[in-house]
Structure 1
Amino acid sequence: MSAPTDWATKDFYKVLGVKKDASADEIKKAYRKLARENHPDSNPGNQQAEERFKAISEAYGVVGNADKRKQYDEQRSLFGQFKGGFPPPGGGGGTYGGGNVDFDLSDLLGGIFGGGGARGGAGRRRQAQPRRGDDLETETSISFRQAVEGATIPLRLTSDEPCTMCHGTGAKPGSVPKVCGNCQGSGMQTSASGGVFAMTEPCSQCRGRGLIVEHPCEVCTGSGRAPSARTINVKIPAGVKDGQRIKLRGKGAKGDAGAPAGDLFLVIHVEGDDRFGRKGDDLTVTVPLPFDDAVLGGEVKAPTIDGPTVTIKVPPGTPNGRTFRARGKGGTRRDGGRGDLLVTVEVKVPAAPSEGERAAVEAYRAARQGAAS
């Protein structure tokens, strides 16, 4: 992902194919669709798809985060409005109040770029800090049982990380970058406009890095970052739900020069099961109940998620669809306890009764009609 100082030159909404006023859900839906279509695992050897996937991940990493999206929109709006230079100020002291704009430039620029825009050209300079790793988001599918009991699964990730050849410096091995003489390593420059106030913007020489690479690394061409694929083991907690988004702190892309890694956001898709369903922390299952047991009472055996069956006592006169609760026989909860198993009985009526069964039912009918008369 590019640094915040590069955001103004990129249209992340266009990359994701959404409007600027799209909702968070619309942005997430567009990202998931494009990520699935362009994921390297689905397009082995397709360099164009891999580059597209990187661009999609970068775009979602910004506009998919509420704080970063606000910062990005402000920066894009500012650069778009003042393209070609600032207009004459509507008021003094570095505050512009023309049109629909009403803000203090020193405050806004300082907030966007992390540096100190200042009035009268008196800007603060500070050394550019190593960049934290990007946040990543990916998806995975797990079985119903894995969701209920928890599991550890391998996960393959592809992202931009510090180049292994130059270790993130961007310089060819044997050489080192030099501090940018234009911004003295701050990554920012301050330019005056008519002597009234100053504008702080990314350095035009180093593009915000604070360093100049005279001999670029052949692998990353001087950027300091290159595509990297790795496999990590991720622990899925018991009781995870379909569509749940899990945050794995520090499992995202690696940071530059010892800066902390980003976070990984994992969206879980749970596959269905032929026998079991879920209701909150409990599991549900339906079992057949013979007609005579429904009338006279009896027992049924119900399967459990971990293998052994559980026996349910059915009282006489049990109606079709009645649910019984087997406590502690459900799946593992987040607190380590176990939920219950909800067993629903489905009265089984013989489709082709034998002669003996038919005679017994006819005798039952006669007895019932006799009792009613």
Structure 2
Amino acid sequence: MAKKDYYEILGISKDASEAEIKKAYRKAAMKYHPDKFTNANEDEKKNAEAKFKELNDAYQVLSDSQKRAQYDRFGHAAFEQGGAGGAGGFGGFGGFGDFEDLGDIFSSFFGGSGSGFGDQRGRRRTVQPGADLRYSVEITLEEASKGVEKHIKYEKNGKCHTCSGTGAEPGSGMQTCSKCNGQGRVKQTQRTMLGNFETVVECDQCHGKGEVPKKKCSNCGGTGIEKEVVEKTVKIPAGIDDGQRLRLSGMGEASPSGGPNGDLYIYIKVKQHSIFERIDDDLVCEIPISYAHATLGGDLEIPTIEGKIKMKIPAGTQNGKVFRLKEKGMPNTRGYGRGDQLVKIVIEIPTNLNDSQKELLKSFDKSLKDKNYNMKKTFFDKIKNLFV
């Protein structure tokens, strides 16, 4: 009997992408997975097995670019002499030879491999890195501007100094873990609506190492871990901003399974400044000046993050006017120069005037004409035109 077209089996077009092929296979594999037919009659079971084998054959060919090219050119004849290879017998629905993608599929649905899939070639032992740690450092805006070194001190889980992290009493050595037989991982059965699935997890006896101490270390009790206090000077770069972090590789917790240490993350908190507000690399400050100073203009003393400077403001400076001081802001952490400082003028209206001052002010105001108030004249001209 002629074999079905592989594209037809997966329900895809001949120009389907790799992602589309995998998606179609996942959907069909879930539908015909034999564990769904555990309680079905024999005919239904056999039909599911046949469908599942077809899907497996089709996917093994179409998911491989070389095999797919051969199939597109010669059809099934390209593999009749054993070139492509089938899925193999079900053998309790576990004998899929070198086909490991099915384990990935069931892992995405159930957090592990399904019914023994994906574990046929043996898993490599993997060791987990130690946990990352977080440490907060508070600095001033001036320190952030120049860069600063800070001394930090923290406690963490480090490698036992007696056994160097092996967990074994010096001179006793290691032996194969009896729970996982040296694999570092064990299977757990999970019941689902589709049947029982096996999840492969790290062995809790050897923590993924595949071996355990013949005699546990007297200092750490076989964990390979002991508390240690770390003191270090951290260099904080100029221009760093509030909420940013620094990563110190390998300065975190030691791994219980013999892997690399975790990392230490230094989170920066910049204290609020009494004068400056930071916006990206720019600094903003408000400078109050008198009405007379704004009217007549003149020199104005301006604070910057690096000290005071003098700036000349023009006569007739209006309230809210913003002056830009080039490169008087914060340095850029990536070396792209400095930001600017924005100086906003706030004209302060005098209060608590005595009678003499009030009379002088009234006399001065009467002496002014429309030409002295450009904004006022423009506004009232608009009102006149509005009601014509």
* TM-score class normalised by the smaller sequence: 0.5 to 0.7
Structure 2 runs not aligned, ≥5 long: 1-34, 40-47, 50-89, 95-100, 191-195, 373-388
Q: Which residue of 2 aligns with 1:244?
A: 244
| 1:185 equivalenced with 2:177 (yes/no) | no
Q: Secondary structure at the match of 2:368?
A: helix
- Per-residue CA deviation, residues 9-66 of structure 1 (Å, 9 max, x unaligned), is xxxxxxxxxxxxxxxxxxxxxxxxxxxxxxxxxxxxxxxxxxxxxxxxxxxxxxxxxx
| 1:311 equivalenced with 2:310 (yes/no) | yes
Q: Which residue of 2 aligns with 1:267?
A: 267
Most deviating of 230-239 and 291-300: 230-239
CA 356–313 in structure 1, closer or farther in 2 if over 3 Å, else same: farther
CA 89–206 in structure 1, closer or farther in 2 if over 3 Å, else same: farther
CA 180–88 in structure 1, closer or farther in 2 if over 3 Å, else same: farther
Taking the aligned partners of 2:212 and 2:328, their CA distance within structure 1 comes to 64
Matches within 5 A, 1:161-240: 161-181=158-178, 183-189=180-186, 200-203=200-203, 206=206, 208-240=208-240
| 1:325 equivalenced with 2:324 (yes/no) | yes
- Alignment TM-score, normalising by the size of structure 1: 0.60
CA 117–87 in structure 1, closer or farther in 2 if over 3 Å, else same: closer
Most deviating of 297-306 and 345-354: 345-354
| 1:289 equivalenced with 2:289 (yes/no) | yes
Amino acid at match of 1:237: P
1:121 touches 1:190 (CA, 8 Å); kept in 2?
no
CA 112–306 in structure 1, closer or farther in 2 if over 3 Å, else same: farther
Shift of 1:209: 3.2
- Per-residue CA deviation, residues 241-294 of structure 1 (Å, 9 max, x unaligned), is 322344333333345798543222332222101111112211111222122111
1:121 touches 1:191 (CA, 8 Å); kept in 2?
no
Taking the aligned partners of 2:324 and 2:202, their CA distance within structure 1 comes to 65
Q: Which residue of 1 aligns with 2:156?
A: 159
Q: Which residue of 1 aligns with 2:143?
A: 146
Taking the aligned partners of 1:213 and 1:151, their CA distance within structure 2 comes to 45
Q: Which residue of 2 aligns with 1:124?
A: 122
Equivalent pairs, count: 277
Structure 1 runs not aligned, ≥5 long: 1-85, 97-102
| 1:334 equivalenced with 2:339 (yes/no) | no
Shift of 1:299: 1.7
Taking the aligned partners of 2:296 and 2:188, their CA distance within structure 1 comes to 92
Q: Secondary structure at the match of 2:143?
A: helix
Q: Which residue of 1 aligns with 2:364?
A: 364
1:252 touches 1:263 (CA, 8 Å); kept in 2?
yes
Shift of 1:202: 4.5
2:104 touches 2:113 (CA, 8 Å); kept in 1?
no
Taking the aligned partners of 1:213 and 1:268, their CA distance within structure 2 comes to 42
CA 315–357 in structure 1, closer or farther in 2 if over 3 Å, else same: farther
Q: Which residue of 1 aligns with 2:376?
A: none
Q: Secondary structure at the match of 2:228?
A: strand
Q: Secondary structure at the match of 2:154?
A: strand
Q: Give percent identity, aligned residues only.
A: 31
Q: Which residue of 2 aligns with 1:68?
A: none
1:116 touches 1:123 (CA, 8 Å); kept in 2?
no
Taking the aligned partners of 2:215 and 2:223, their CA distance within structure 1 comes to 11
Amino acid at match of 1:173: P
Q: Which residue of 1 aligns with 2:344?
A: 344
1:175 touches 1:215 (CA, 8 Å); kept in 2?
yes
Shift of 1:361: 2.6
Higher Cα Rg, which structure: 2
Amino acid at match of 1:319: Q
Q: Secondary structure at the match of 2:304?
A: coil
How much is the aligned-residue C-alpha RMSD, in angstroms?
Answer: 4.2
Taking the aligned partners of 2:171 and 2:111, their CA distance within structure 1 comes to 32
Taking the aligned partners of 1:120 and 1:272, their CA distance within structure 2 comes to 55
Shift of 1:219: 2.6
Amino acid at match of 2:263: D
- Alignment TM-score, normalising by the size of structure 2: 0.58
Shift of 1:327: 0.9
